[in-house]
Each structure stands twice: as C-alpha cells, then as structure tokens.
Amino acid sequence: MFSFIKSVYQLNWKYIIVEILLIFVGINLAIWFNNWNTERNLNHNKEVAIAKIKEEINNNMEEIVAARKINQNVISAYKDFEEIYGKNSDVIITSSQNFRILQRKYPGFFRVKDSMDIESGLKKYSGSTYIELELADLKEIAWETTKSINITNEFNYECLYELENIYNLQKRVQGIMDQAVNALQNAKINELMTILNIMKQLDTQLEEHYSSMLNDIDDCY
C-alpha cells in the first residue's frame, strides 16, 4: 500500500514538473512572439516613415529649384531695368531699340501704358513694373507625423540631427518667403530684391542639405 502511494506521489510530481515546464515554455514563446511582432511592426513603420520623408524631401527640393529659377529671372530683370528707370519703377527712359530688347528678354516685366519721345533718341515709357514671385510649397507633413508617433526615436543620432537641421532651415526659408511677399505687397522693390538674394542663398544651402540627406537617409536605422 505504501509502495503504491509512493508511486502515485512520484507520478504527480513528474506531472507537475512537466506542466510547469510547458507553462514556462509557453510563456517564453508568447513573449518571444510578441517581441518579434513588435519589432516587425516597428521596422515596417520605420521603413514607411523613411520612404515618406524621402518623398517629401525630394518634392521640396524640386519646388525650391523651380522657384529659384523663376525668382532669379526677376532679380536679373530688375537689375537690367534699374539702369533705365526714371525716378521710380513706373517710368523708363531708354531708346526704343533697347526697350524692345528688354521686353523680349523679360516679357511682361514692365507693362507700358503710355510713351513719348524725348531728347537724343530716347523715349519715356510710363507704366508699371509687374513682378510675379514663385514661392516654393515646402511640406513637413511626413516629418511631423514621424515625430508624433515617436518613430524618430529609432533613427540614429547623425540622421536625426541632419533631419532636424534640414527642417529648421526649411522654416527659415519659409520665413524669408513671407518677407518677400510682404515687401511685394507694399511695393518695396529694392527691399524685395535684397530679400530674394538672401532667399537664393538659403535655397541653395537647403538644396545641398536635401541632396545630402537623400544620399544618407537609407542608413537612418
């Protein structure tokens, strides 16, 4: 009888030990799977975030390059017309031949309302200077979204530092664009030209940062 009880007792312990081992293995498997799934989702989110930021930077770079080309033409036009302006930008004094050359080179920059002959083969043209700025539409939706869901915590330091610099510089460019619009609205043309030259410098700097980031962004994680 005692032998039977002892055998049952031993079997129960073996059963309990096996159950404990199974539970232990099951818990560890569940933890491992959860960690694996979390890591997989995190990597997927990082890949999506980087792809979106890359697309955003590329689009922004195309915007500033296109805008700078048009605004540079405005700067060049003003520089050429500045030499023949009268007392203000509503009057031009030059030869008819030179005026035609400028009109072909910068169509629509100066719109004539009236003209009259003056001395020495010169003509006085009355009208108005028409300046149409091209303002780049710089986005930061992908960047702000990435920060809001804390994916940036997974980026390496160098990448994060470079991205922060890029979007901070982008904000400075947008601030300069606002100044340009304000100067144009208040007909402060000399001030506008100064601002456009500053904008050109910042645009060029920003384009260089964009290009560098596009080369390095795949190494962000």
- For residue 29, what pLDDT is reported? 66
| DSSP states along 12-25 | HHHHHHHHHHHHHH
Q: Where are the domains of the chain?
A: 85-130, 134-221
pLDDT of 63 reads 95
In this prediction, residue 28 carries a pLDDT of: 67
How far apart are alpha carbons 170 and 60 in whole angstroms? 9
pTM: 0.80
Q: DSSP secondary structure string, 71-105? A: HHHHHHHHHHHHTTB-SSTTEEEEEHHHHHHHHHH
51 alpha carbon, distance to own chain's centre: 14
For the sheet with 110-117, list strands across it: 91-95, 122-129, 110-117
The pLDDT value recorded for residue 4 is 43
Q: By three-state DSSP, how is residue 166 classified?
A: helix
Structure confidence at residue 206 (pLDDT):
96
Cβ-contact 159, 217 below 8 angstroms: yes
Q: Which residues touch 86 (CB under 8 Å, ≥6 apart)? A: 92, 93, 124
What pLDDT, on a 0 to 100 scale, did the predictor assign at position 121?
87
Of the candidates 56, 55, 221, 210, the residue with the CA atom closest to the CA atom of residue 152: 221
Which pLDDT score, from 0 to 100, does residue 191 have?
94
Instruction: Specify the pLDDT at position 152.
Output: 84
pLDDT, tens digit, 9 for 90 and up, residues 122-175: 999 999 999 999 999 999 999 999 988 888 888 888 999 999 999 999 999 999
Which regions of the chain are under pLDDT 70? Answer: 1-18, 22, 25-26, 28-30, 32-39, 221
Amino acid sitting at position 48: V
